[in-house]
Amino acid sequence: MRRVSRITIAGVATAALAVTVSACGSSSTSSSSEGKSKGIGLAYDVGGKGDQSFNDAAYAGFQKAQKDFGVSGRDVEPQDNESDADKIQRLETLAKAGYNPVIGVGFAYAGAVKEAAQKFPKVTFGIIDDNQTQAKNVADMVFHEEQSSYLAGVAAAKATKKNHIGFIGGVDVPLIHKFEAGYEQGAKSVNPKIKVESQYLTQTAQEGGFSSPDKGENAANGQIDAGADVIYAAAGLSGQGVIKSAAEHKVWAIGVDSDQYKQAALAKYKSYILTSALKNVEGAVYDLSKSVIKDKKPLTGEIRGSLENGGVGLADSNPTFKNNAAMQAAIKKAEAGIKDGSIKVKTS
């Protein structure tokens, strides 16, 4: 039987929370260490480190685990237009080099994790945003993104002055449909007549939906021209373009995955970042690393973050958001309804 574990709150306090690997993309390595395990291996999703969102949340957990547990680590960047074979080789290279755990950031690693885990049964593998790989040495780290997105929709409906909001998804895939579904449902719980613009940047990740700020900016420009004055983007690196557009037009943006109000690279836009729909990718990476390195009892099976266990939530770093009493009351009511089951959040 697969063991189901809960994510602890390691990186979502605000939610009320160089070495080149041949043919595997570029990487950076901390100080080396001797022993059976060299530390933590982390392989990024498209967009790579520096997206101020999904990948950077994983990197934060990676850094924190290294510091707290006194181990080294290697984090590896993706390549443009890479194949599944490239991902497999990347994970296997980390495992062969002695890193444990080895973590693939993003559902695109599903096939690679499955194959690598079979070849290295003594290494614990983790994958974020996918739960298809059922193996004794794999942790499937997934989230109820629709729940935090519902709260983001409530916030958007309370913030809009035009009863017109927008959603921009990076790639048209089921995972991102969860963000859209929760957001629209949350907004319509406040105002059933609210207008919601919805757009996906690409059909596949290879087309750059998660890694093209220019695509995000152009899409946001179009939604703002159409009348939207709050835009929520679930688009990885492309979301930076959405935030830029929102700031230039003096409308609200809602960030995703990380607390984007606090990201240094987005500091000049932060006055227009209302909140961010968080998921504790940082905590997931940290907790898996802890289970392997410190506890010697590796987490396996499905590990799902929710509002109930602090795995998802809303950031409250922006004082305008935090101090809006009516907005906060509506969000707290919605959060309570989700937790007690009286609100069933859609996933598609």
List the chain domain ranges: 40-144+284-291+299-305, 145-279+311-340
For CA atoms 319, 182, 161, 256, give the dihedral sign.
positive
Asked whether the domain spanning 145-279+311-340 has the same topology as the one spanning 40-144+284-291+299-305, the reply is: yes
Give per-residue pLDDT as tens, 176-191: 999 999 999 999 999 9
pLDDT at 223 over 90: yes
Classified as helix, coil or strand, 298 is coil
Which residues, other chains included, contact 249 with Cβ-Cβ below 8 Å and sequence gap of 6+?
A: 221, 224
From the list 146, 156, 152, 142, the residue with the least C-alpha distance to 176 is 146
From the list 286, 288, 266, the residue with the least C-alpha distance to 276 is 266
pLDDT at residue 79, as a whole number: 86
Fold for the domain defined by 145-279+311-340: Rossmann fold (3.40.50)
User: What's the average model confidence in pLDDT over 49-68?
Assistant: 94
- Of 34-48, 150-164, 209-223, give the lowest mean pLDDT range: 34-48
Omega of the bond leading into 101 within 30 degrees of 0 (cis) = yes
pTM for the whole structure: 0.88
pLDDT at 299 over 60: yes
User: What's the average model confidence in pLDDT over 132-145?
Assistant: 95
Give per-residue pLDDT as tens, 115-131: 999 999 999 999 999 99
Class of domain 40-144+284-291+299-305: alpha beta
Across the chain, what does the average pLDDT equal? 90
